Amino acid sequence: MTALIIEDEIPAGKRLEKLLLENGFVVLSQLHSVKSVLIWFKENNMPDYVFMDIELADGKCFEIFEKTKIESKVIFTTAYDEYALKAFDYNAIDYLLKPIDGGKLKKMLSKVDVFKEHFLADLESVKNNLSNTYKKSFLVATPKGIKKIMTDEIIGFVSENNATFLITDKNFKAPVHSSLEKLETELDGKQFFRINRKHIINKKFISEINYKNEVVINSLSLISLKISRLKMKAFKEWLKQ
């Protein structure tokens, strides 16, 4: 199987190439811009698969589809659920949220062994899942009983000692029965963002990004959290929304 990687973040592209090689792919090239992709497709045969980032060095990848017909199986890689919805409008057979997990890649590839129609038949279901009503509250245990916490009160979530905790704007901290990975699917992606392996934060409480590439959270006390280098570009785009 041959694959073309379209990704403007070099570390992310190298990681994806490594995962693809481990799964028996021949990676033909890594491209970083809309312009370079259009040139490549004019000069080369279509690969079996195209793994395509949404945000490229000189624009969004959707521009490519307006100028050339891609006959390969297209898998979008994105940090945003809302882009995943748009990806299906371009007949993508699947999408992967970044940072790409090797296990999820394997699972996706196993699905591709069936006909593409099987994916498209479930398209409406996928769209409905992505656009579902997000969690508006959490029930947590306290010494006095069960407490309801609204998501608007939550400044973020943290993974510590194999457990996940929410933290409110009143500095109340309580465990929740979800991993950060699960929370990423349950929370509104326009409001919450996973800035690193251990933290998800609420845009509402962001004060600034300091010179150390830390996001400063403003609640009862200032909290500074490091933004992963691989997440920085996606974080800035998310912050603009």
Domains of the chain in start order, with CATH, are: 2-130 (3.40.50.2300), 137-240 (2.40.50.1020)
Tens of each residue's pLDDT in the chain, 241 residues: 899 999 988 888 999 999 999 999 999 999 999 999 999 999 999 999 999 988 888 888 888 988 888 888 888 887 765 665 565 666 677 778 888 888 888 888 876 655 344 444 454 555 555 555 788 899 988 777 888 999 999 999 999 988 999 999 888 999 998 899 989 988 999 999 999 999 999 999 998 888 888 888 877 667 888 998 888 889 988 988 8
In three state form, how does the secondary structure of 168-200 look? Answer: ECCCCEEEECCCHHHHHHHCCCCCEEECCCCEE
Count of alpha carbons within 13 angstroms of residue 112, beta-carbon side:
18
What DSSP string describes 28-69? EEEE-SHHHHHHHHHHSPPPSEEEEESEETTEETHHHHHHS-
Q: Report yes or no: 51 and 158 within 8 Å, Cβ to Cβ.
A: no
| Type of residue found at 25 | F
| Type of residue found at 165 | F
Measured on CA atoms in the order 31, 36, 39, 43, is the torsion positive or negative? negative
Q: Report yes or no: 46 and 71 within 8 Å, Cβ to Cβ.
A: yes
| Type of residue found at 157 | F
pLDDT of res. 117: 45
Neighbours of 31 (CB within 10 A): 25
Output the pTM of the full model: 0.48
pLDDT of res. 83: 60
Among the listed residues 143, 192, 188, 144, the one whose alpha carbon sits nearest the alpha carbon of residue 167: 192
